[in-house]
Amino acid sequence: MPCDPHLCHSRRKRGSVMSDAKFWNRMARRYARSPVGDEEAYRAKLAKTQEFLGPGSEVLELGCGTGTTAIHHAPIVRHIDCVDFAEGLLDIARQKARDAGVTNITFIQCAAGTYPVKPAAYDMVMAHSLLHLLRDRQALLGRIHDMLRPGGRFVSSTACLGDNRLLSTVLPLGSKLGLLPALAFFTEDELIAEVEAAGFEVEHRWTPKPKAAMFLIARKP
């Protein structure tokens, strides 16, 4: 019997998510041990983000990985919900939070695209090193817009691989061989256009050096 197109798409999507989660579970401990590529730029991004946070802030981080960024921000906010689909990464994140004495983070195993929309529940939504791993980032941007309160901020750091011709040629092969997760290729300007189309006003855009991830802060009017 032919597969219903919508059902087949749903199954393929679930299969892809499960495959990506398997990749990150396998890589969790190696990923946790890897140093920050540009410590100075990372600290600058943390400081810029914290300009928009305060003691009453409710924050969501999608694709939180091993929780490093959330743990940095936790002391100055009310609460952070941290979401990731890889349990191996979340296990490390929970232990890091315990070691740091942080108690105001809730870790949730869930794919970013299926995290329930909580209308106007958050003052900030973060998605670092995530958008280039998604097949449906435009839909996710719309969900993020819905979850933010008026005046809330969307903060991301994203590898815009479409700006690098060599990587856009080589990396898809790594994905097909299972050596890399699935990757999306788009330019910085294309991502900015998608963020604005989702209803955001871009307030801050920074690429620390050529071919580095673009750091972005956008406001929900």
Q: pLDDT per residue over 179-211, tens digit each?
A: 455 678 899 999 999 999 999 999 999 999 998
Can you tell me whether residue 166 is helix, strand or coil?
helix
Whole-number pLDDT of residue 140: 97
What is the distance of C-alpha 42 from the center of its chain?
A: 15
Spatial distance between the Cα atoms of 187 and 43, rounded to a whole number of angstroms:
24
Report angle CA 199, 67, 137 to the nearest 5 degrees.
30
User: What predicted TM-score, i.e. pTM, was given to this entire model?
Assistant: 0.81
Q: Model confidence over 145-178: pLDDT tens digits?
A: 999 999 999 999 999 988 665 444 444 444 444 4
Whole-number pLDDT of residue 70: 98
Spatial distance between the Cα atoms of 54 and 44, rounded to a whole number of angstroms:
18
Q: CA 75 → CA 55, 70, 94, 151, 215, distances in Å? A: 8, 9, 16, 22, 22
Tell me which fold the domain 5-219 belongs to. Rossmann fold (3.40.50)
Spatial distance between the Cα atoms of 2 and 195, rounded to a whole number of angstroms:
37
Spatial distance between the Cα atoms of 8 and 2, rounded to a whole number of angstroms:
10
Can you tell me whether residue 201 is helix, strand or coil?
strand
Average pLDDT over residues 15-22: 50
* 2-6, 88-92, 162-166: range with lowest mean pLDDT: 2-6
For the chain, the structural domain boundaries read 5-219
Can you tell me whether residue 181 is helix, strand or coil?
coil
Q: Which two tokens stand for residue 66?
A: 């091993």
* 31-40, 48-57, 166-175: range with lowest mean pLDDT: 166-175
